[in-house]
Structure 1
Amino acid sequence: MNAAAVGQPGATDYPGLEWLASMAALVDAEGAIEYANPALENGLGVSRRLLNGQNLSHWMDCPALWQESLLQVRSNEFSSKRFDCMMRLRDLREAVQVQLIVARTDHPQGLLLAEVVEISQQSRLEREEQWHNQAQANKELIRNLAHEIKNPLGGLRGAAQLLHAELPSAELQEYTQVIIAEADRLQTLVDRLLAPHRKPHVVGDVNIHEVCEHVRTLLQAEFPQGLTIEQDYDASLPEFRGDKEQLIQAVLNIAHNAAQALQQRIVQRDARIVFRTRVARQMTVARQRYKLALVLHIVDNGPGVPAELRDRIFFPLISGREGGSGLGLTLAQTFVQQHQGTIECDSQPGHTEFRITLPLP
């Protein structure tokens, strides 16, 4: 049934539902959808045109409880009814626990309001807030620490050079060469720490798929065999204003980490990385509400992030790989946040997913 038909609800009839952060629908007596808000459209990954006429129970594992609640509200036994249920949402391999609220409305055809609230949504927002605050603290710590290291480092290297010139034997000069080399290594590390904070934005039109394809080309050149990189792109995504080089670096840091974690699977020739893009509607990104947002999923089938590192993976100098600098994800987070975006990670053995969310104009 078409929601735009005469007597049927449309977006302009319920503007409050259009802006509602939680998923909501107007359903008939049997639970068939007559109107779906953007949050539901985004959550289920199905356009409202295709949702119209489908029963919401199609995504539930509790159809009997759903029908019972509809009947109780419809018969005025309750003005509203709420219950917990499991629902399958887009791109999730397992059902997600939600709370469903069914309530009467004043619609002339007696349509009922169904609201779907992810029980995990609040914890996600709290985690995003925690990561945002930690990123700000990291940024200040990095800046102060880098400057504190950089100032005496120049003096240390200069003194080593002078001493090197005065030493009488090549054997002793080897020691000063070690000091100079290590000072240069630390200087490089400091420069990497400071780079995202002092490098100015080079803003231009950015196509996220060009960013992904650039990174894919680099990865396939480094890992020509044993690694499959899949593309699942939403061609409707518009260009946006941003710093293309920073975003390439952010995506490359994440994807390169994934490839390095896939070494064993690469040997077995079944390593896989997926670049998936989607548009999200009515999204809260970095504590701001946006009508549209771009979501880039970077998924791999590696061993997963160690449990003890999952809450600290964006911290500077934290690495689960021997010889890793622990700066890749920190820099990726910094570059994404400079675009008013967020970066999240969910990981378990066989499935690690990074999500970059960027607001669209």
Structure 2
Amino acid sequence: MYSVLIDHISTAVIQLNNKLEIEYLNPAAEMLLAVSRRRIQGSAVGAVFRETQEGIESLYSAIDTGNPFTKREAEITCNNQKTLFCDYTVTPILGSANSTVSLIIEFYPRDRMKRISQEDELIANHETSKELVRGLAHEIKNPLGGIRGAAQLISRAFTDEALNDYTQVIIEESDRLRDLVDRLLGPRQIPKSQPLNIHKVLERVRQLISVETENQISLIRDYDPSIPDLTGDESQLIQALLNITRNAMQALIEHDSDTEKTIQISTRALRQFTIGSKRHRLACKISIIDNGPGIPEAIMKTLFYPMVSGRAEGTGLGLSIAQSIIHQHQGIIECHSRPQHTEFNILIPIEMTTQG
């Protein structure tokens, strides 16, 4: 009766004996930890998930003392190498002589809430940086217009061609600064939304990168053909995806490595998926993965800010503009990086909702 009840609850539950061997796990735990009850029963707990040494010692302490405990925001690694963020509660079950005979562990996944929280923070930071840039642009463009106009008036009064060359420098540099400010502001046009095939967009990006790299980098495609047409602006999406892929290309070219340099472009359909705080019936996930040196930890949190770059020659505008474009498509760009594996995930709803 006990196991029948546990089998029908949505909370993932594992029972361990006093040697930390698995006696039982319910279907919710099988799904969460990606294991089979029949294959794993009787194995050590490490066969299901790997905890820190401190976490293992806490389990043994619960056996010795009979005291339950809860661990918040634990990061454990499942046997399929998937990292799981969760809270879990450990409850010792006492025998007739008040000695612990087993432990019950209840898992409460926090992956979805953690991702939503991270995305909300990313969106808020992006909105804040946009407001700062708008204010800065206004303060720069007003005097620039005056400088340019004054230089034009002065040039008309000069008869000396050499002096006109100097005023022309002022005019050209003013125009250059104006163009830089416009680039900082990102795309100001509302997306021209129409049905499009995301793989056509990605093929265009792949062709452009292939020409630029002259076959120095292997471009690997892993497309999900089941993805239907999504609603978006084709030229803007090409620009956003090209910015991200070109960053990966430049990082690989500048990185001195004996291993084959690769960029993998993959797509997947996600059902009932949350972007920010909004759930979408169907979303498209585009992943751009390179095996370069990785992104420095110091700039990870500010990666999508304007003028932030990990390259000496970089302007720091490419990712900021890409994030603005994807945000206009009601999506978001996430990044995870470690040496030899940098992954940008672009999440876009298949059907954009009408903005009020």
TM-score of the alignment, normalized to the shorter chain, above 0.5 = yes
Give the letter aligned to residue 184 of structure 1. Answer: D
* Cα distance in structure 1, aligned partners of 2:343 and 2:232: 23
1:47-90 deviations in Å (ceiling 9; x for gaps): xxx9898869976348xx9xxx9xxxxxxxxxx99886734488
Counterpart-to-counterpart distance in 1, 2:194 and 2:30: 35
Deviation at 1:30, TM superposition (A): 5.1
Q: Which amino acid aligns with 1:301?
A: N
Q: Which amino acid aligns with 1:224?
A: E
Distance in 1 between the 2:323 and 2:39 partners?
Answer: 39
The CA distance in 2 between the partners of 1:323 and 1:256, in whole Å, is 13
Q: Of residues 136, 155, 160 in structure 2, which corresponds to 1:164?
A: 155
> Residue 290 of structure 1 is aligned with which of 280, 295, 302?
280
Q: 1:179, CA displacement in angstroms?
A: 1.2
TM-score between both structures, scaled by the size of structure 2: 0.72
SS at 1:248's partner residue?
helix
Residue matched to 2:143:
152
Note closer, same or farther for the CA distance 1:129–1:219 as it changes in structure 2 (3 Å cut).
Answer: same
Task: Determine whether 1:358 maps to 2:348.
Answer: yes
- CA drift at 1:295: 1.5
Instruction: Report percent identity of matched pairs.
Output: 39
- The answer on 1:327 being equivalent to 2:279 is no
In the TM superposition, what is the alpha-carbon distance from 1:289 to its structure 2 partner? 2.1
Task: Read off the aligned partner of 1:161 and give its amino acid letter.
Answer: Q
The one of 101, 121, 128 aligned to 1:130: 121
Q: List per-residue Cα deviations over 1:192-223 (Å, max 9, x = no partner).
A: 23452x31221111222222111111101111
- Displacement after TM superposition at 1:325 (Å): 2.3
Question: Could you tell me how far apart the structure 2 residues matched to 1:175 and 1:116 are?
Answer: 68
Q: CA–CA distance in 1 between the matches of 2:259 and 2:175? A: 38
**In the alignment, which of 152, 170, 176 is matched to residue 167 of structure 2?**
176
Aligned partner letter, 1:222: E
**Corresponding residue to 2:109 among 117, 135, 158:** 117
1:218 paired with 2:191, answer: no
Q: Which residue of 1 aligns with 2:130?
A: 139
Structure-2 change in CA distance of 1:298 and 1:163 (3 Å) = same
| AA aligned opposite 1:142 | V
User: What SS does the corresponding residue of 1:205 show, helix, strand or coil?
Assistant: strand
Query: 1:169 offset after TM fit, Å?
Result: 3.4
| Gap change, CA 1:300 and 1:96, over 3 Å in 2 | same
SS of the equivalent of 1:171 reads helix
Structure with larger Rg? 2
* Contact 2:191/2:329 (8 A) holds in 1: no
Partner of 2:263: 273
1:193 maps to 2:184? yes
* Match of residue 251 from structure 1: 241
Q: Could you say which residue in structure 1 is the equivalent of 2:18?
A: none
5 Å-filtered alignment, 1:36-47, equals none
Specify the alignment match of 1:60 in structure 2: 49
CA distance in 1, matches of 2:295, 2:305: 14
Amino acid of the structure 2 residue aligned with 1:302: G
Q: Residue 106 of structure 1 corresponds to which residue in structure 2?
A: none
Question: Among residues 238, 261, 270, which one is paired with 2:251 in the alignment?
Answer: 261
* Partner-residue secondary structure (3-state), 1:262: helix
Any residues of structure 2 matched to 1:234-249 within 5 Å, and which? Answer: 234-249=224-239
Q: State the distance in 2 between where 1:282 and 1:300 align.
A: 28
SS of match in other structure, 1:354: strand
- Residue in 2 that maps onto 1:305: 295
Gaps of 5+ in 1: 1-12, 18-23, 70-79, 104-111
Query: How far is 1:300 from its partner?
Result: 1.0
Q: Shift in Å at residue 98 of structure 1?
A: 4.1
Using a 3 Å threshold, how does the CA distance of structure 1 residues 160 and 34 change in structure 2: closer, same or farther? Answer: closer
Q: Unaligned stretches of 5+ in structure 2? A: 1-7, 15-22, 60-67, 92-103, 352-356
Equivalent residues, number: 312
| Residue 338 (structure 1) aligned to one of 321, 325, 328 | 328
TM-score normalized with structure 1 length = 0.71
